[in-house]
Structure 1
Amino acid sequence: MPCTEIHSSFYRFVALSDPEGVAARLRELVAVGLGGNILIAAEGISGAVAGEPDVLQAFEAALQSDPLFGGAFAGLVFKHSACATRPFTLIKVHVKPEIVAFGVPGVSGLPAPERPDTHVAPARWRELLARPDVLVLDNRNSFEFKLGRFAGAIDPAVTHFRDFPAYVNEHAEAWKREGKTIAMYCTGGIRCEKTAAWMQDQGLQVYQLDGGILNYFQSMPEPEADWQGECFVFDKRIAIDTRLQETATSAEQVYAEEPPWRLARAKRLDPDG
């Protein structure tokens, strides 16, 4: 039978005083009918889940309104896409030191009102892509870049997100000498939340695509005018196109030039079932 599940991704950087308690309540809320992964840390929440529309709607409503969360997730933005393949077999809720591992001590994605806002909406992003003084920087792993990217984007050629700071440190002075403005993007926006403030501290002029690639595909007319290829997604659908539709690309194709452990790890994290 065709898959009728809906995929939902979300995150928020918000201070949580009791991550273990939040995780315990989430395990109760996702116990029936959902698959996916949710990460909880003192700095917030990040999740990708999928389920039948009514089940997913009930979970999203509970996440925003459950009294235990004290309004921490009220108004959370959910990015939805259809599924031809069931994205997840399992449901997991983990407590981690960070909801996205940047690896630089003291760097958090928590909002800092004293800093200039680096977020730009998709329409503004399209304008930045056309500016000659703007360097478009892909803040994802290299295998994701190879599958698809914004036209003219630069691949930092990193294997892990934690390698990204070293790349920036290597090039920051040259970018400043050249008067470059950095326009940075990732899949859903979460990696850029971590890196934007840190890059400002390096003296760089930085913008980040609000909501990432997925928001761009969802919000803009003719996103294919600016995007080349497909977008990798971290679930069993593997890749989607600019219309948020699953493609025929397989995990074996995506990881063909990667170390064998990448494919093995992907299959181990959520085995077929």
Structure 2
Amino acid sequence: MLLHSAFYRFTPMADPPGFAAWLRGRGAALRLGGVVLVAGEGLSAAIAGEAGAVRALEAELLQQPGMAGLRFKHNDCGRRPFSRFKVSVKREIVAFGVPGVQGGATGTHVSPQRWRELLADPDTLVLDNRNSFEFRLGRFRGAIDPGVVHFRDFPACVEANRDAWRGRTVAMYCTGGIRCEKTAAWMQARGLRVAQLDGGILGYFEAFPGAADDWQGECYVFDKRIAIDARGRETGTTAEQVFTAPEDAWRLARARRLDPQEP
């Protein structure tokens, strides 16, 4: 059985190049595919392969400094989502565009169960913390589109709406949770009351077999599968169907390089 695992951790990394080299070696030995980013602020990854190999790397990661309790979000795959195992060292694991903003504990995380309650509360403002092409493909019911082409444009959206949102609970979500980690503390500092979905969309799908009751459409994933449904199954949607806007031409070219039709 093939298994996909997505995870991240904001934690100080003493030697990002050394940690990246270790990961490359382990990924190759276990014949995994994936995309991993390592930076001084932490780790972000999506990996896939035979289930036993994925779980073996997860077990090894949990023994590394700063990685205890690392959460892995899983879904089964009908084919290999990645052709290779790529580990890159970056300045940030997610680029927010505001200097000095760091991910970490904010006290704003809510469980999938609490998130479901917030979706039913008319006083909640549900904010999609992803790019517009992702929102168009699928979203939580009642969510609003921030209208951004790149994640670094998100702060401008918040600033433009901050006064109107003040006093409401801004319930925010993204694919795996990492983008919300960067925005939550910054939004709190801007005077907003924030609740971020712990584990993101993928964690919600994993927690609730009936997630389709709350989710409309599909969820874009950054691998050969292109999109999954609320049960974590590949949908058959193509990159050409997702990237239709002129400003997303570069994303279409990147997706084509993944060769999504390859078995």
Q: What's the TM-score bracket when you normalise by the shorter of the two chains?
A: over 0.9
Separation in 1, partners of 2:102, 2:168: 25
Shift of 1:182: 0.2
Matched, 1:193 2:181: yes
Separation in 2, partners of 1:5, 1:49: 11
Give 3-state SS (helix, strand or coil) of 2:114's partner.
Answer: helix
Mapping 1:146-225, distance limit 5 Å = 146-176=136-166, 179-225=167-213
Give 3-state SS (helix, strand or coil) of 2:99's partner.
Answer: coil
Matched, 1:143 2:140: no
Cα distance per residue 1:197-223 (max 9 Å; x no partner): 000000000000000011111112421
TM-score scaled by length of structure 1: 0.91
Structure 1 stretches of 5 or more lacking a match? Answer: none
Separation in 1, partners of 2:206, 2:191: 32
TM-score scaled by length of structure 2: 0.94
Aligned-residue RMSD, C-alpha: 1.4
Give the match for residue 82 of structure 1: 76
Give the match for residue 249 of structure 1: 237
Give the match for residue 39 of structure 1: 37
Q: 2:99 aligns with which of 92, 102, 105?
A: 105
Separation in 2, partners of 1:239, 1:266: 12
Cα distance per residue 1:86-128 (max 9 Å; x no partner): 20001111111111111110001033xxx5x100001100111
CA distance change for structure 1 residues 60 and 197 in 2, over 3 Å: closer, same or farther? same
Cα distance per residue 1:219-263 (max 9 Å; x no partner): 124211111011111100111111111111111111123532111
Separation in 2, partners of 1:267, 1:58: 31
Shift of 1:45: 0.4
Q: 2:18 aligns with which of 5, 21, 29?
A: 21
Structure 2 stretches of 5 or more lacking a match? Answer: none
Aligned 8 A contact 1:43 1:110 in 2:
no
Give the match for residue 53 of structure 1: 51
Cα distance per residue 1:160-200 (max 9 Å; x no partner): 11010010011101212xx3210000011000011000000
Shift of 1:62: 1.4
Aligned 8 A contact 1:15 1:110 in 2:
no
